[in-house]
């Protein structure tokens, strides 16, 4: 069984048939964003990529020269956010989260280091936001990072209500090409003056 170990008490991801409950969370949303970003790059609208997570390989099995298999690896550092890049001359950085919960978004899936990272993006003049999908409704929202961070830091609860996203988020319409045209919302929020 392959094991990837997280730093600082974050659960390991186990492969080879053993499924951790978080292993595939967000994969559909991630695929939609990746397809959208590929479209943006192809038509030179933006240059946005999924960030790779740095991994330290510890043990490799070599049953044969051409069949090397990584058996054990560790994440070097906790990942910051999922995506970053450049759009209209501005740095963009965002985190994508998905939940099956119909009435609430569990704030425990947003990690403190991700919040700190997005605060730094804002401090240095970048554009930071969250893309959150409620899979039960097939609704995806873009939320300005400072607004979402404020909601997370001010709540005494372990979640933010679905209705909060309806009120404060900007719903991203799904389409064929691009799949999730989130830059249309970015234009509305962050480039208001330039668009008028």
Please check if 95 is assigned to a binding site.
Answer: yes
Q: Measure Cα distances from 160 to 108, 155, 163 in Å.
A: 10, 8, 8
Q: Does 114 belong to an annotated binding site? A: yes
- With tokens 């946005």, the residue in question is 48
CA separation for the pair 20, 14 (Å, rounded): 7
How far is residue 134's CA from residue 154's CA, in Å, rounded to a whole number? 22
Phi, psi at 40, each rounded to 5°: -60, -40
80 known member of a binding site: yes
Quick one: DSSP state of residue 130? E
CA distance 21 to 24: 8
**What residues are designated binding site for Mg(2+)?**
80, 82, 95, 114
**What residues are designated binding site?**
80, 82, 95, 114
């Amino acid at each position: 069984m392959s094991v990837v170990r997280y730093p600082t008490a974050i659960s390991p991801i186990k492969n080879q048939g053993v499924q951790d409950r978080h292993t595939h969370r967000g994969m559909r949303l991630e695929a939609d964003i990746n397809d959208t970003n590929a479209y943006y790059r192809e038509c030179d609208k933006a240059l946005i990529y999924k960030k790779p997570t740095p991994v330290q390989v510890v043990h490799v099995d070599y049953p044969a020269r051409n069949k090397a298999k990584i058996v054990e690896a560790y994440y070097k550092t906790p990942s910051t956010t999922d995506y970053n890049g450049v759009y209209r001359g501005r740095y963009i950085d965002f985190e994508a989260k998905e939940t099956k919960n119909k009435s609430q978004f569990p704030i425990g899936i947003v990690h403190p280091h991700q919040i700190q990272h997005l605060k730094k993006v804002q401090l240095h003049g970048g554009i930071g936001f969250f893309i959150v999908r409620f899979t039960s409704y097939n609704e995806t929202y873009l939320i300005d990072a400072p607004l979402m961070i404020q909601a997370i830091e001010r709540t005494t609860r372990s979640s933010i209500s679905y209705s909060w996203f309806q009120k404060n988020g900007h719903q991203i319409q799904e389409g064929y090409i691009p799949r999730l045209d989130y830059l249309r919302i970015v234009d509305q929020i962050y480039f208001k003056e330039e668009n008028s």
